[in-house]
Structure 1
Amino acid sequence: MSAPSPPASLPSAAFRGGRRRLLAATAGALAGGWLAAPPRPARAGGDPPPPEAPGARRHDWTFRAQERPARLLGPDGPLSRVWSYSDALLPVLRIRQGDAIRARLENALPEHTSIHWHGVRVPNAMDGVQYLTQPPVGPGQSFTYEFTPPDTGTFFLHPHCNEPGQVGRGLAATLVVEGDEPEPPDADIVLACKDWRLAEDGTWLPFETPQGAGRAGTFGTVRAVNGQRAFAATVPAHGDIRLRLLNLDATRTLLARMEGAAAQVIAIDGNAVEPFALEQWRFGPAMRVDLRVRAPAAGAGFTLLDDFPREPWPLARFTAAPSALAERPFAPRPLRAARVPRADLATAERLPFAFSAAPLGATPDSVAGLPPDDPFARLLLDSLCVGRNTFWAINKSTWPGGGNRQLPPPLAELKAGRSYVFELHNTTPHPHPIHLHGHTFEVLSLSRQALPRFLADTVLLLPRERAEIAFVAAPGRWMFHCHVLEHLETGMMGWLRVT
C-alpha cells in the first residue's frame, strides 16, 4: 500500500495523552456462557454526534495485492508466502469521520480479486463483489473505490471470491473510522485474530476440506493475533485502553475474557452500546467487539483470553508501564451513537430465511439462472467464486458451484427505503455468523442468547437458533451469507435485489 494516511505500517497500538455498569443475568450457562451482561444501544440524549468536520480530508491509498514473504512461524522459523495489500501484514488504516477514501486496488496476484469493505455502508457499486457489483479485477488490472464512510467504528476489508484461499493467505486489513469517543483513550490497540493453515516447513495446507466444509469449517494449525503467535504490548499504568478485537478467521468462534484488569464492552461491530462489564463475549468470524480496559498499576500485567478451547488461549498479554496517570474510578462514557436508519417495526414486512443443509439431491447444476431479461443473466461466474461441493442452503436455495456458472436469482426482492424484519432460523447443529452487506441492522431477538436489542452487521446464530433482525433497505444488489468461509462457498450464500 503506498502512501496511505495514516500509513498502513502505523503501529496498531499508540499511546495518547490525555457508569454506568450494566449487569444482567444470563440464562444460566446458556450457550456455554455466552455473555455476562447484555448490550444496549448507546443511550439517546447522550453525547451528540460530532459536527461536520471542517478539516475532513481525502485519503488516497494504493493497495497492491501480491505475494510477499513472512515468518508466520516465528522469527527463527521458515518463510511463508503470504498474500497481502502492503508490506505490512494485516495493516491498520485510520481515518476520521467525514474523511473520504479513494483506494486503488492493483492486482499482482495470479487470479482475480476485489475489495469488500465489511461493515461499511458503502454505495452498492463500491461493495466489491465480483459479478454482482463490479467486474473482477484480473491479474495486472486495477479498480478504484471512492466513498465516504458514514459511520465511525471498527471495520475490515477483504476479497470476495476464493475467500478461503485469499483471506487464508493473509489478504485482509483493518479500517478504523475515528470520532466516536467523547474522550480519547490512553492507548488504542487493534487485535486482528486470524489463524494460519501451515505445515511445519511454512508451506500452506489446503484451505478447504470436504470434512470441514460440511461441518463447522476447517481450522488453522497456527493461532495468531496481528500475525504473531504471542502478541504482547505495553500500556500506561492506570490508563484507559481501547481494544478493538476483530475475528478475521475463516472458521473459529472466540469467547473473550479479561484476566487481571477491569473491562467493559463499548461497541459491537463498531456500533456503540451502553458500556457493560465483560465476563465472556462470544463472537464468530467477521464479527468485532470493542473493549475499554483500565490498566493496573505499573509492573502488573493482564491478559485477554479465549475461553472457547478446553485450555484458555492467550489472545494478547499486556504489561503496565509507569505513567503520570493517577488511580481513579473506572466509568467509561458511552461512545457517540451512529446515525443508522432504524426500521419502523409497525410497518415492516417480515421475511423468513432458513439456513440449512443443502436439499437432498441438490447439485451445483440444479440451481436456476436469472430470467433472460435480467442484464446480470449474461454474467458468468468462475471457479474462484464457487465451491466444488454443495453442502449448505438458504431457503433451500444453494449458491451455484461446479458446472453452473450463472448468477442465481435473488433470495428476495425488496424496496429501497422500506422497513424489513428478517426471521432467521439456523436448522443445523453448527453455528453460522450471518452477514448482510451494505446495511447495519438491529438485532431484535435471539432465541438462545439473553441479549436485548443492539446494532450489528453480522449476527451469530447458534445451533438450532432463531433470530430477528430489522433494517431499512438501501438500493442495490447485496450479498447475504454465512461468514464461515467454507460455508459461503459451498452453498450458504445468496443476494438481495433492492429497487
Structure 2
Amino acid sequence: MKNGGASLSRRALLGAGAALGGLALLGPTRTGQARIPTPFVPTRSLTLRAGEMELKLLGPGKPASRILAYDGTPFRTLRLPRGSRLEATFENGLDEGSTLHFHGIRMPNEYDGVPTLTQPLVQPGGRFVHLLPLDDPGTFFFHPHCDETGQAGKGLAGVLIVEDPRDPAFDAEHVLCLKDWRLADDGSFLPLTEPDGASKAGTFGATRTVNGAASVELAAPAGGDVRLRILNVDATRIMDIGHEGGEAWLIAVDGHALKPVRLDDLPDGIWRMGPAQRIDLHLRMPRDGGSVMVGDYRSSDIYPFATITAQGRSARPRKGPLALPPPDLPRPELKKAERFSFTLQQATDAAVKDIGLPPDDPLAKALLDSLCVGSTTYWGINRESWPTGERRNVPPPLARMETGRSYRIEIKNETRFPHPVHLHGHAFEVLTSSLGRLPRHFADTVLVQPGEAVEVAFVAAPGDWVFHCHILEHMETGMMGYFRVV
C-alpha cells in the first residue's frame, strides 16, 4: 500500500502484521457583492455567546481548567434540518475582540466572519448577526476567526449538523470532537504557541480528548449500523483515523457525501485528516457482539478515543454500506475552467514586503486588527505572506475571479510539513493528488502532504474569500490570502 507521502502509520504496520438555493437578487456588501436571500425569513433564531467556563480536562480529582466555550457548553452542538434559514447572533463575552465563522457553509460573503475583510471586529460586549441559508446537509462547525490560536486553542468551537431527511436510518449516531490541550499540572494553560512550533509542524498539546474527556464508551446493537461524525477541531494535530473490529466505510468528507469507501481499502487503512477536517463513518458492529475501537494511528502510541460495545442485537441486520444522498452542489465545468497554481512555502525576505491594494480599492486604507495577525512571519503562498507584526495593511488578493465561472486550482506543497488548506464559502471538488492517495470527493479543506500537488475545482461565488492553512499558527504567521470574486 502507498503511505501517502508520509511516514508509515501505526495502522499500516499493524495491518501488515495482521449556491445557495432559491436566492436571486444581488446586494452590495463591504467588499463587493454577494447573493442575499430576499426575503430572508429565519426558521430558527438563536444567540451564541462566547465566554469562559470550567472543565476538568485533566481528569476526575484533578484541577479544572478555565476554557472558552459558546453558551457555557463545551463543543456546543446545533442541529437543524436542511433548508433552514438560521439567524445566529454572536455575542462576545470575551475580554478581547472576536468574530464567529461558520466553517464549510456556503453563505453570503458578509456573514463569513473574517474581521476587516468581511465585517468589523466584534469588540468585548458587542454583537453581530449572521443570516445563514443551510442548504447543504452535513457535519460542519463554527469557531472564531481572530486570535484563533488563543481562542480556539482554549476550546472555542461548536458543531453545526445540518440534517437531511433523505439519509438512511442508523441504529445509533455519535458526534466526536477531537482536540488536544496545552495544560500544566494545575490545569492552567501553557503557552499556546512557541516559535519552534509555529515555524515547523505546530505547537502540540499533550492532553488529548474527545468531547472534553480522555475517551468515550458508547453502545450499539450487535450487527447494527452506527454513524460517527468525527471532527478534528485541534489547532495543530494531523490524525490517522482507523478502527479495530467490525466494518467501517467513509461516507462523507467535510459534510459532503461520497460513494462509500471501505476504510481498510484506503492507503494504510486510515483516513488522514488535518485540523478543521471532518468525516462521517458508517460503522457496522460485529454480528457476534464484542466491541469496536476507533482511534488515531498516526504515532506508535495509538490514541483509542472511542470504544463502541455491542448491547442486544439489531432488529434489521443489513449487508453493505449505507450511502448518503449525493451532494447537490455547483459542479465545475472542468474543460472550461480557468487554472491557477498556488505554492505553499516557507517565508523568505521577498515574502515579507509591504504590498498594498490600489488606492481606489475600498479596503486600501483598512488596517487589520493587531489581535488578528501574528507577530512573526514564517510562511507564505506564492512567495507572499499575510501581514504580521507591524505590517497591518490589507494585502491585494491572491487571485481575481468572476462569479459563476469554474476554476481549477493546483495546490503545491514545497515545505517539509503537511498543510490542511481551507477555502471559505465554497465546497470544492478534489480532483487529483500527485501521490494518488485521495478518492474524488467534495470538501472545504484538503490536506496537502510535503512534496504533493493536489488539484481542486469549484464554481466561484461573489465576495472576498479567505484561502489559508488551518494549522492555526501557520495561518497567523503568513500562510493566508484571499480570492476576490466579482
The alpha-carbon deviation at position 437 of structure 1 amounts to: 0.4
* Deviation larger for 300-309 or 448-457: 448-457
Q: Residue type matched to 1:389 in 2?
A: T
What's 2:343 paired with? 354
The alpha-carbon deviation at position 217 of structure 1 amounts to: 0.4
The alpha-carbon deviation at position 444 of structure 1 amounts to: 1.0
Q: Is the 8 A contact 1:153 1:180 kept in 2?
A: no
What's 2:83 paired with? 98
C-alpha separation in 1, matches of 2:345 and 2:282: 37
Say which of 276, 281, 292 aligns to 2:282: 292
The alpha-carbon deviation at position 158 of structure 1 amounts to: 0.5
- Structure 2 vs 1, CA of residues 339 and 329 (structure 1 numbering), >3 Å: closer, same or farther? closer
Q: Does 1:123 align with 2:98?
A: no
Q: Is the 8 A contact 1:126 1:147 kept in 2?
A: yes
Q: Is the 8 A contact 1:389 1:402 kept in 2?
A: yes
- Structure 2 vs 1, CA of residues 450 and 79 (structure 1 numbering), >3 Å: closer, same or farther? closer
Q: Does 1:135 align with 2:135?
A: no
The alpha-carbon deviation at position 182 of structure 1 amounts to: 3.7
Q: Does 1:305 align with 2:295?
A: yes
- Structure 2 vs 1, CA of residues 103 and 28 (structure 1 numbering), >3 Å: closer, same or farther? closer
What's 2:97 paired with? 112
The alpha-carbon deviation at position 378 of structure 1 amounts to: 2.4
Structure 2: 5+ residue runs without aligned partners? Answer: 13-40, 265-269
Q: Residue type matched to 2:321 in 1?
A: P
Q: Does 1:225 align with 2:210?
A: yes
- Structure 2 vs 1, CA of residues 383 and 29 (structure 1 numbering), >3 Å: closer, same or farther? closer
Q: Does 1:27 align with 2:2?
A: yes
**Structure 2 counterparts to residues 240-319 of structure 1, below 5 A:** 240-279=225-264, 280-297=270-287, 300-319=290-309
Q: Does 1:87 align with 2:72?
A: yes
**Structure 2 counterparts to residues 35-434 of structure 1, below 5 A:** 58-179=43-164, 181-279=166-264, 280-297=270-287, 300-323=290-313, 325=315, 328-360=317-349, 362-363=351-352, 366-434=353-421
The alpha-carbon deviation at position 368 of structure 1 amounts to: 1.1
Q: Is the 8 A contact 2:4 2:449 kept in 1?
A: no
Structure 1: 5+ residue runs without aligned partners? Answer: 1-25, 37-55
C-alpha separation in 2, matches of 1:385 and 1:498: 23
What's 1:440 paired with? 427
Q: Residue type matched to 1:305 in 2?
A: G
Q: Residue type matched to 1:160 in 2?
A: H
The alpha-carbon deviation at position 126 of structure 1 amounts to: 0.9
The alpha-carbon deviation at position 181 of structure 1 amounts to: 4.5
Show CA shifts across 1:372-392 (max 9, x none): 211112221122111111000
Q: Is the 8 A contact 2:351 2:380 kept in 1?
A: no
What's 1:40 paired with? none
Q: Is the 8 A contact 2:183 2:207 kept in 1?
A: yes
C-alpha separation in 2, matches of 1:226 and 1:449: 33
C-alpha separation in 2, matches of 1:185 and 1:480: 35
User: What is the SS of the residue equivalent to 1:223?
Assistant: strand
Show CA shifts across 1:53-77 (max 9, x none): xxx9722211111111111111211
What's 2:29 paired with? none
- Structure 2 vs 1, CA of residues 368 and 172 (structure 1 numbering), >3 Å: closer, same or farther? same
C-alpha separation in 2, matches of 1:303 and 1:450: 24
* Deviation larger for 376-385 or 283-292: 376-385
Q: Residue type matched to 1:175 in 2?
A: L
Q: Is the 8 A contact 2:111 2:118 kept in 1?
A: yes
C-alpha separation in 1, matches of 2:157 and 2:284: 29
What's 1:21 paired with? none
Q: Is the 8 A contact 1:298 1:322 kept in 2?
A: no
What's 2:444 paired with? 457
C-alpha separation in 2, matches of 1:59 and 1:295: 36
Q: Residue type matched to 2:202 in 1?
A: G
Give the aligned CA root-mean-square deviation in angstroms: 1.8
* Deviation larger for 99-108 or 176-185: 176-185
Q: Is the 8 A contact 2:404 2:459 kept in 1?
A: yes
Q: Is the 8 A contact 1:266 1:334 kept in 2?
A: yes
Identity of aligned residues (%): 48
Q: Is the 8 A contact 2:340 2:407 kept in 1?
A: yes
Q: Residue type matched to 2:371 in 1?
A: L
C-alpha separation in 1, matches of 2:4 and 2:429: 25
C-alpha separation in 1, matches of 2:73 and 2:420: 28
User: What is the SS of the residue equivalent to 2:207?
Assistant: coil
User: What is the SS of the residue equivalent to 2:181?
Assistant: coil
C-alpha separation in 2, matches of 1:133 and 1:28: 40
- Structure 2 vs 1, CA of residues 265 and 115 (structure 1 numbering), >3 Å: closer, same or farther? same
More strand per residue: 1 or 2?
Answer: 2
